[in-house]
Amino acid sequence: MSAHPSEKDIYEDYRQYLLLVGDIATHYATFEHLIDQTIWLLAGMERRKGACVTAQLMSIQTKFRVIVALMHELKATEPLHNAAKQLSKDAQKTSLFRNKYIHSPMSLAVVKGKLVPIRRHTGVDVTLKDELVPYDREEMLATSARCQELKNRAIILQADMEKHLESLVD
């Protein structure tokens, strides 16, 4: 590498963080869409009518309460209930990390002579916190992996519920 890095080199780390934010957002959005589809399936609604309903359910916790209630009405097995409840708990934890990266404004700062992506962290814990903190690449990678895992587990839950519904017809 030359003694005078190009502008592209300076921003390469920043672009990598933007890609991670995109990965987290995309995988979690796909997960949420799968959960919406599961609600439509359990409620016996076609996609457009179902979307009218699930578009009004803003939190993942609310969507899972709907799923659990519908599963109860459809007499889903205990293992299915447990899988949905565990997925809900894991989604709630993951959404806290997802929200931190998706909804925090990103900026750049020079730290120890290096350009570093930072985010504004604002919160109240007895007193107001309003600080700039560097992005945690390892935490972001872990969050992306957890979002992918949620997506995969939602696919399995949906398939298992389809099998359960088919068993009710037989």
Given a cut of 60, whether residue 27 has pLDDT beyond it is yes
Measure the CA angle with vertex 164, ends 54 and 77; round to 5°: 95
Q: With respect to residue 108, please indicate whether it lies within any of the assigned structural domains.
A: no
Residue 65 falls inside a structural domain: yes
* Per-residue pLDDT tens digits for 44-74: 999 999 999 999 999 999 999 999 999 999 9
Number of domains in the chain: 1
Does residue 62 or residue 12 have the better pLDDT? 62
> Exposed, middle or buried, 136 (CB in 10 Å: 0-12/13-18/19+)?
middle
Contact 94, 28 (CB under 8 A): yes
Which domain, by its residues, includes 144?
7-103+136-169
| Residue 127 maps to a domain | no
Across residues 1-7, what is the average pLDDT?
52
pTM: 0.87
Rg (alpha carbons) of the chain, rounded to whole number:
20
Domain assignment present for 111: no
Residue 112 placed within a domain: no
Contact assessment for residue 106 and residue 134, using Cβ atoms and an 8 Å cutoff = no
Spatial neighbors of 61 by CB under 8 A, at least 6 apart, are 88, 92
Give the pLDDT of residue 39: 98
Q: Do 65 and 78 meet the contact criterion of CB atoms below 8 Å apart?
A: no
Residue 120 domain-assigned (yes or no):
no
Query: Is 121 a member of any domain?
Result: no
Residue 20 is assigned to a structural domain of this protein: yes
Residue type, 44: G
Above 80 in pLDDT, residue 13?
A: no
For residue range 139-150, what is the model confidence (pLDDT) as tens digits? 999 999 999 999
